[in-house]
Structure 1
Amino acid sequence: MATSSQTGLKTSTLWLMAAACGLCAGANYFNQPLIHSIQLHFAVSSAQAQLTVTFAQVSYALGLLLLVPLGDLLKKHIFIPLLMCLAAVGLLISAFAQNIYMLWFGTAMTGLFTIAAQVLIPLSATLVEPKKTGTVIGFLMSGLFIGILLSTSLAGLLSNLFAWNTVYLLSAIILLILTALLRPRLPHTATIQLHYVAMFGTMLELIRSEPRLRIRGGVGAFAFASMSTLFSTMALLLSRSPFYFSDFQIGLIGLTGIVGAVFAQFAGKLADRGYARQLTIFGILVLLSSWIFIYLSQYYVVAFILGFTTINLAISMLHITNMNIIYQLRDDAKSRLNSIYMTLYFIGAASGSALGIFAWNHGGWVMTCMMGIGLALLSGSFAIIDLIKYPKRS
């Protein structure tokens, strides 16, 4: 755990920031285990209910591209609480939705403004000395990863105990409480004078002038695409013979990924100590080897647990290392760098999900695993380019 002496930030503030990151990120995954309940509640088709997931993904992507860069232009102690409050409003609209259209609107609003987490993380990097950047990022990313992993299980559990919309109401209340607690603790930071439209021109310039941003973006995008291939098909595998697991059981198995989430803070500390190269190499090797277990998952549930745990561990190592490196490229453009990287990361996730479903429909689990391995190899190729081009840099 990071402490005030290590980072220049109070431990309590870091915990609040990590909790906010986890809740914001997890809010976009509440709908995934609730699709059937949403379909029944609003008496709509399966396709209409599944569009809820699409609205969450698309709106979050738009937020990454259009709102996250504003973190460099606006006062963060005002901007972040505003984003969190608007996200809470979206959750409340979803909780009290009277029809599927109202739920779509609430979901889209939530996805658009939960990018608050992606403004909090680069903010933390500006408040500490460079040698502690990875430690703080790893701590916040642990909170974010745990929030994502817990979100589907908690949503399914609360739906079984109460109603499908309980998780939306409860999370909105908690998010507002977190906002009230975090607002007075956020520091006043410097901003740059730049027109909103001109900001996108500077982002294109960053892509052109920072080759390591492109390379590390490739490492992250293809690695997350590889994991998304598994995410999009795991329920299809585990819900059929020989397992026949329920949605809640599948969610519980998915919690094994918390091992990787917890490791994120240790990965950050190792990156700070100059082990970014080793983390990159080890992360790629773990990512590739995880698919051996994932392939065997069609026979043994233990193999799936090992594969799911190791692939989350690999993603944790690679993602934290990437962010540690990218945030040190330009001190005056951390939010824009984060926007570019996370947009690439999200494109990888969406592409991996689509490729996973395609592979499953055309070749079952074997082709799904081949797709996942192929994407992992592409991530590894970008990592090799980075290691060759920057042999003496972290």
Structure 2
Amino acid sequence: MGRGTRLLLAVVCGVAVASVYAGQPLLGPMGHDLGVPRDSVGWFVAVGQLGYLAGLVLLVPLGDMVDRRRLIAAHLGLVAVGLAVTAAAPVAWVAFGGLAVAGVFAVVVQTTVAYAASISPPGERGRNLGVVTSGVVVGILGARIVTGAMADVWGWRSSYLALAVLAATVCVLGLAVLPADVRAGTERYGQVIRSLGGLFTQPTFLGRGLIAFFLFASFGTLWSGMALPLAVEPWHLSEAQIGLFGIAGLAGALGAARSGRWGDAGHPSRVTGIALTLLLGSWLAIGSLGWSLLLLILGVIVLDFAAQAVHVSNQHILTTAYPDRTSSTIGGYMVFYSLGSAFGAIATTALFDAAGWTGPTVLGAALALCALVTWVLADRVGISARRTTPRRGAARQDVCA
């Protein structure tokens, strides 16, 4: 995979995932404009995540059957449609519908990651995944910077309109530039869906999935709730100023890009454990939001570094363990990601309304601790499996934890 291909695939991921997370710094103005109560505005993010969940189950497995290049282009085009509907929404239910459509087809991210893994030599898979998936975090956090600034000048609708145009542009570019993804594709859709269900009985897959659930629930707790306390006393920050915190998140996430190379060197599980420890520690700094923005920025950098490092390591382990069904594996893994993110978005706004920033802080730290405990248990299961499983090709796929 050349540098240009890696960059384009990272852009695809960034644009698609931004469509789901663009509303995070806009919750206040969106709720006010569309008549949604403050304790329910988290649904502007959660509805996209739930649509994403449906797409993971129903659409991502198609990548193991058809040309992924055409699939990527088609899904990006439909993301653009959903974003355009959201931008033009006159009432809340239309906005929710547009966000759901964008969320369903934003699973183009997973098709893209699986495509990148399948065309990468084994010794470069971690490196390529690190670059491509960096587009995911850039999209999540970069969207906060851009949408916050645009909302201050032109209103929240301008952000969704700009993303719709960008998604349509990348759709055309991807179809023109990416090479065809030619595979036999002998399995039928029903067979692929059933094989996806079978993954949930595999210890390696289930362990990494549960880590992802707790990881991204903790991640979503910060990014879906942080705008609320920053907009009131003692800070009174604007949407644009709140969006600038995405720069700190970008610094942390891009700093973790080398985690893929650490995986190539044979240390993906160790990277996971170290990063989850950092994730837990980051909440000590994040909890100081009420009196120190400097400590908050430090916490954001560490949290996003940890999240990206664990995410890349998880995908490296899973695409190595299940090389013949990368799309289904990544899609199934991201079910946990989507559920965790949706849980974090809903819970943090409700907790903030009831207990101030203390509620989301305790929740985020507890979720990080759960992820760390899950890693410890999953690592022990993996060690046990390596000691007891015969060295056979058929048994090889589930001893990579």
- How many angstroms does 1:145 deviate by? 0.6
From 49, 64, 80, give the equivalent of 1:88. Answer: 80
2:295 maps to which residue? 303
1:63 maps to which residue? 55
C-alpha separation between the residues in 2 aligned to 1:355 and 1:35? 14
C-alpha separation between the residues in 2 aligned to 1:359 and 1:35? 15
Alignment of 1:243-254 (within 5 A): 243-254=235-246
From 259, 274, 279, give the equivalent of 2:271. Answer: 279
Partner deviation per Cα, 1:250-295 (whole Å, 9 max, x = no partner): 2212321002221242111111111213312210221121122122
Matched, 1:186 2:182: no
- How many angstroms does 1:191 deviate by? 4.4
Does the residue aligned with 1:327 lie in a helix, a strand or coil? helix
Task: Give unmatched runs, 5+ long, in structure 2.
Answer: 387-399
- How many angstroms does 1:128 deviate by? 1.0
- How many angstroms does 1:239 deviate by? 2.6
1:314 maps to which residue? 306
Matched, 1:342 2:334: yes
From 260, 273, 281, give the equivalent of 1:268. Answer: 260
Q: Residues 132 and 356 of structure 1: is their aligned pair in 2 closer, same or farther, counting only changes over 3 Å?
A: same
Does the residue aligned with 1:223 lie in a helix, a strand or coil? helix
- How many angstroms does 1:138 deviate by? 0.7
Task: Give unmatched runs, 5+ long, in structure 1.
Answer: 1-8
| Amino acid in the other structure paired with 2:180 | P
Q: Residues 193 and 88 of structure 1: is their aligned pair in 2 closer, same or farther, counting only changes over 3 Å?
A: same
Does the residue aligned with 2:320 lie in a helix, a strand or coil? coil
Contact 1:56 1:107 in 2 (8 A): yes
2:198 maps to which residue? 205
C-alpha separation between the residues in 2 aligned to 1:353 and 1:169? 23
Contact 1:92 1:106 in 2 (8 A): yes
1:106 maps to which residue? 98
Partner deviation per Cα, 1:136-172 (whole Å, 9 max, x = no partner): 1110111111111111221222233234322233222
Contact 1:137 1:265 in 2 (8 A): no
Q: Residues 172 and 127 of structure 1: is their aligned pair in 2 closer, same or farther, counting only changes over 3 Å?
A: same
C-alpha separation between the residues in 1 aligned to 2:269 and 2:46? 36
Matched, 1:196 2:195: no
Alignment of 1:29-40 (within 5 A): 29-38=21-30
Q: Taking every aligned residue pair, what percent have the same amino acid on both sides?
A: 28
Partner deviation per Cα, 1:183-242 (whole Å, 9 max, x = no partner): 13233231432332333221121222x211111111121122222222333223323333
- How many angstroms does 1:35 deviate by? 4.2
- How many angstroms does 1:101 deviate by? 4.3
1:223 maps to which residue? 215
C-alpha separation between the residues in 2 aligned to 1:237 and 1:306? 17
1:5 maps to which residue? none
Contact 1:80 1:119 in 2 (8 A): yes
Task: Calculate the TM-score normalised by the size of structure 1.
Answer: 0.89
C-alpha separation between the residues in 1 aligned to 2:80 and 2:246? 26
C-alpha separation between the residues in 1 aligned to 2:231 and 2:342? 22
| Amino acid in the other structure paired with 1:197 | G
Q: Residues 356 and 164 of structure 1: is their aligned pair in 2 closer, same or farther, counting only changes over 3 Å?
A: closer
- How many angstroms does 1:359 deviate by? 4.2
Contact 1:139 1:264 in 2 (8 A): no
Q: Residues 337 and 160 of structure 1: is their aligned pair in 2 closer, same or farther, counting only changes over 3 Å?
A: same
Contact 1:13 1:182 in 2 (8 A): no
| Amino acid in the other structure paired with 1:204 | G
| Amino acid in the other structure paired with 2:207 | I
Contact 2:26 2:239 in 1 (8 A): no
C-alpha separation between the residues in 2 aligned to 1:228 and 1:318? 15
From 146, 160, 183, give the equivalent of 1:154. Answer: 146
Partner deviation per Cα, 1:107-149 (whole Å, 9 max, x = no partner): 2221111211110001100001122111111101111111111
1:4 maps to which residue? none
1:368 maps to which residue? 360
Aligned positions, number: 384
